[in-house]
Amino acid sequence: MSVFLTGCDDGNSSSHDDEQVESAGRLALYDQDNTSIKVLDLDSETILSEYTLPGESPRLYASPNHRYAVIIQRSDDFVSFLDSGFYVEDHGDHLHEYAAPPSFLSYSLSGSRPTHYTTHGNISAIFFDGQDGIASSVTLLSDETIGNGQVVSELSLTNNMHGVAKLIDDQLFVTYRDPLITDTTLPAAVDRYSFSNGILSFEHRYSEACPRLHGSAANDAFITFGCSDGVLAIDLTKPTDPAIKLSNPESLLEDSRIGTLYSHHGTDEFVGVAGNQFFVIDLNSPSDPYQELSLPDGVSRITQGFTAHAETFYILGDDGNLYLFNVGSGWSASEPVQVVDALTEDGIRPAIAVSRTEDAVFILNISGQQIIVVNSNTGAVLRTINLGFTASKLVWLGLVQSDEHNHDH
């Protein structure tokens, strides 16, 4: 493993540069043939450890500070955690970084249908959808509580729904489904709770409707929710957190809706996804909030998101091309770059993990046997990592700077 570690300096030097870990990080990968989680060291390109994972194919996420892999198996009603081995200790006058061997935690969560996982700041929220006769619930986590086998807080709701929650500072925003709504499990409103000393207390239900609510994202100024008839936005900069409602974009295709939203602390704008349409949303210009990003005719999206510092928004198409949009230059499009093979019916669906330490994304090729490492700003292929097994999911884990945590997943 290519890392550099030293002990604390007992001398009088004020420099602690030698107490930083020099590493590109690690990838947690799901080996679909052996139903296991494997940890790949990105410096040596070797597998450090492997853990059998019974049950269904998981979804993999990173904890708020990217130390832990959060492993969600929805149909199994189960959430487990893998420790990457990267961590930081506060030594008073400085922070000391460490890289230890990875490990699979004995700590886990059980609950009905864990689904949406969101992160804001140093807190993540898992929304348990529940099912008929089992109400939804929310669990809040931090890296510290995961390591201690605890939670930040929990909230039980009154009925089941396919919902979402997000803690922003001392307020929790969580979806609400009126029990009179019986034709869908999608919620149609948003509740706000105060958060103090680990206790959540109901404050307000927004009257602005958001029918068939799905998708949420937040930055420092707004939290947004996708609705069948537009986008609901709550202004976090004003004392009462008022809500505004945007209608659907004029160019939205018939029978479509914005159902996924992306944000990053590095930009004021959001991106809404409706099928294969992408809309930049500027809430500071409510009279003309939408700018559409174009994909070539016949190309369908595979995955998308912001890069580590929000310099670029990427879209991976089913043609194998990576489409890059320069956020700081009016969302101008770069020339598409072929990075993986075009998707086939029997191929692995490509997935992307974003590095938080360098301008790179890690793309799983359709064979599942290779990781293509790509410069996230230019699309240039930096290297290819051959796995020797078939992976279908991946997530990046490592050490990040504290000001890089306010992105959404």
Report pLDDT digits (tens) over 124-159: 999 999 999 999 999 999 999 999 999 999 999 999
> CA 63, 65, 69 angle in degrees (round to 5)?
30
Specify the pLDDT at position 401: 66
Specify the pLDDT at position 244: 96
Q: What's the CA gap between 3 and 244, in Å, rounded?
A: 49
Distances (CA, A) of 327 to 112, 267, 323, 331, 409: 38, 8, 13, 4, 18
The pLDDT confidence band at residue 1, using thresholds 50, 70 and 90, is: very low
Is 13 a residue whose pLDDT tops 50? no
Q: How many CB atoms lie within 10 A of CB 13?
A: 9
Q: What is the mean pLDDT of residues 348-370?
A: 93
Is 17 a residue whose pLDDT tops 90? no
Question: What is the tens place of the pLDDT at every residue in 323-357?
Answer: 999 999 999 999 999 999 999 888 889 999 999 99
Q: What's the CA gap between 155 and 382, in Å, rounded?
A: 44
* Burial class, 196, CB count within 10 angstroms (exposed 0-12 / middle 13-18 / buried 19+): exposed
Is 16 a residue whose pLDDT tops 50? no
Dihedral, CA of residue 178, residue 182, residue 187 and residue 192, to nearest 10: 10
Residue with token string 């009088």: 12
DSSP for 288-342?
A: S-EEEEP--TT--EEEEEE-TTSSEEEEEETTSEEEEEEGGGTTEEPPPEE-SPP
pTM of the model: 0.92
Specify the pLDDT at position 216: 98
Q: Which of 14-18, 230-234, 248-252 has the lowest mean pLDDT?
A: 14-18
Tokens encoding 21: 């870990």
Q: What is the mean pLDDT of residues 296-315?
A: 96
Biggest CA–CA distance in the chain, Å, is 69
Of 43, 154, 150, 155, whose CA–CA distance to 107 is shortest?
A: 150
For residues 170 and 193, the answer to whether their CB atoms sit within 8 Å is no
User: Average pLDDT of the chain?
Assistant: 92
Q: Which of 1-5, 253-257, 370-374 has the lowest mean pLDDT?
A: 1-5
Specify the pLDDT at position 406: 38
Specify the pLDDT at position 96: 81
Specify the pLDDT at position 409: 40
Of 140, 135, 183, 133, whose CA–CA distance to 163 is shortest?
A: 135
Question: What is the tens place of the pLDDT at every residue in 238-292?
Answer: 999 999 999 999 999 999 999 999 999 999 999 999 999 999 999 999 889 999 9
For residues 223 and 210, the answer to whether their CB atoms sit within 8 Å is no
Is 72 a residue whose pLDDT tops 60? yes
Q: What is the mean pLDDT of residues 224-231?
A: 98
Specify the pLDDT at position 84: 97
DSSP for 29-82?
A: EEETTTTEEEEEETTTTEEEEEEE--SSPPEEEE-TTSSEEEEEETTTTEEEEE
Q: What is the mean pLDDT of residues 32-59?
A: 97
Specify the pLDDT at position 12: 42
